[in-house]
Amino acid sequence: MRRLDRHIGSTVFLAIVAVLGVISALALLFAFIDELNDVEGAYTLWDAASYVGFTAPQRIYEMLPMAALIGCLVGLGALASNSELTVMRAAGVSIRRIVWAVMKPMLVLMVLGVLVGEYLAPWASSAGEANRSLVQSVGKAQSSKRGLWHRQGSEYIHVNTVQPGGKLIGVTRYVIDDEQRLLQSSFAREGLYQNDHWLLEDIVYTDLQARSSSVRQAQSERWDVEITPDLLNTVVMDPDTLPISGLWQYANYLGEQGLNASRYWLAFWVKVLQPLVTAALVLLAISFVFGPLRSVTLGQRVFTGVLVGFIFRIAQDLLGPASVVFGFAPILAVVLPALICAGLGFWLLRRAG
């Protein structure tokens, strides 16, 4: 039985890895083509290719559920086409045993996916984003094509680039009063984190009065603000590219500041529940092989897998923003499509059994 489990598991595992490689390569190709629109000036073709390369771990992580669905259909479908599944069933091997044989290598992929999503992908995405922003920045206030906005108290902050190690390039600050009037703006060429505060360098201030304004300069200034390098690295990244720990930290921080954190809670639950979502899609794929796709060709199975995967992704993409707009719990936007897939998979397997 162990040899049989290894045969089923290795067949499905290799199929998933092959599918993951193909769809990830296509995603990287399309991303590179899209990035060509930004190639100008200091931002060269090599810089665009380097940035896309840094995003590869994140794209592989995002493609894992769909690759598991299609790969499982291909792997188990190959066994069905060779009548191996029929022989196994005739020999008394239960569907439950086959499902467990498929799920065992999937557990390995799920663990690897969690590690990539928590450690490798955030680091690579952060490094790629910092390099791209630095190249595209010309070092003036808000002249960077990439950058971030952040608010703390009465101060609105724009940073052109956040570099690893606690270094900011191009820090613009706006101070407003309770009546939403602009009191002061300033631009610092760079900022360095010093233990518990920031040190801004080469600063130009513009003080605004009722009928006049004045400009002054300073070589350096201590900037006491609650945001840390880790927090800024979280702010500058898209929520989908952040680790679970970073999402939890920043979502709670936004809550403390009285700001809307729905996007970050949505990304948090997407990452936390990705293993369960992947398992639901694999269960659905197994039920298809034993049910409606038992006797079809390989191409039909691949087409069905792509179709179901896209429908699932569209459902998540619709429910996710809907949870932000209409205010219902983001976890429902992640769990509901997975529950539907799992429920359909169980129903089809019961009919097949």
Domain presence at residue 235? no
Q: Are residues 338 and 194 in the same domain?
A: no
| Banded pLDDT at 30 (limits 50, 70, 90) | very high
- pLDDT, mean over the chain: 82
Quote the pLDDT of residue 96: 83
Quote the pLDDT of residue 262: 83
Average pLDDT over residues 156-168: 76
- Of 225, 253, 278, which residue is a domain's last? 225
- How many distinct helices (H) and strands (E) make up the chain? 12, 6
Picking from 48-62, 85-99, 330-344, which range would have the lowest pLDDT averaged per residue?
85-99
Q: Are residues 212 and 299 in the same domain?
A: no
Domain presence at residue 232? no
pLDDT for residue 139 is more than 60: no
| Banded pLDDT at 57 (limits 50, 70, 90) | very high
pLDDT for residue 37 is more than 90: no
Q: Are residues 129 and 165 in the same domain?
A: no
Quote the pLDDT of residue 240: 84
Average pLDDT over residues 241-256: 83
Domain presence at residue 146? no
Domain presence at residue 277? yes
Q: Are residues 101 and 8 in the same domain?
A: yes
User: b/e string for 176-206 if b means 16 or more Cβ within 10 A?
Assistant: beeeeeeeebbbbbbbebeeeebebeebebe
How many other CB atoms are found less than 10 A from the CB of residue 94?
11
Angle, in degrees to the nearest 10, between helices 45-54 and 121-136: 160
Domain presence at residue 220? yes
Q: Are residues 102 and 9 in the same domain?
A: yes
What are the pLDDT digits (tens) for 311-344?
Answer: 888 888 888 888 877 878 888 888 898 898 888 8
**Calpha distance 327→265 (Å, rounded):** 12
Percent of residues, the chain, with pLDDT higher than 70: 91
| Banded pLDDT at 26 (limits 50, 70, 90) | very high
Q: How many domains does the chain have?
A: 2
Quote the pLDDT of residue 138: 53
Question: Could you tell me how many residues make up the chain?
Answer: 353
**Calpha distance 314→207 (Å, rounded):** 49
Q: Which domain holds residue 198?
A: 154-225
- Name the pTM for this structure: 0.77
Domain presence at residue 236? no
* Identity of the highest mean pLDDT range in 2-6, 49-53, 156-160, 216-220: 49-53
